Amino acid sequence: MIHLRRKIWRKYRTTDPVEIAESLGLEILYVKPEQLSKLGDRITNSTVVVDSSLNGREATQLIAKKIREYLIQNPNALD
C-alpha cells in the first residue's frame, strides 16, 4: 500500500482523494439514498456513488476506498 501511495504522490502531488479520483477519470456522484435506484445506467466501474448524507470524512474515506478498488482492477492507471 505504501508503494501505491508513493506512486500516486509522484504523479499527482496531492493526497486529496477527490482530486485523485478526478485525475484518474472517475466520476463522483453525490446522491440522496432514495435516488440510488434511479441511477441505473449511469453507474460504471469508473463511477463513485457517495451518499450525500455522509459527513465529509466518511465521504472522503469512501472515495479513497473506491480509488484503491479501481487501481486494483486497473493496475496500469498510474503509468
Burial class of residue 7 in the structure, from the number of CB atoms within 10 Å of its CB (0-12 exposed, 13-18 middle, 19+ buried): middle
Q: How many CA atoms lie within 13 A of 67 on its CB side?
A: 23
What pLDDT, on the 0 to 100 scale, is given for residue 65? Answer: 92
pLDDT digits (tens, 9 = 90+) for 54-64: 898 999 999 99
The structure's pTM equals 0.80
Residue 44 is classified by DSSP as -
What pLDDT, on the 0 to 100 scale, is given for residue 2? Answer: 60
| Residue that the C-alpha cell 435516488 belongs to | 35
What pLDDT, on the 0 to 100 scale, is given for residue 77? Answer: 79
Q: How far apart are CA 29 and CA 12, in angstroms?
A: 22
pLDDT digits (tens, 9 = 90+) for 35-52: 877 877 777 778 888 988
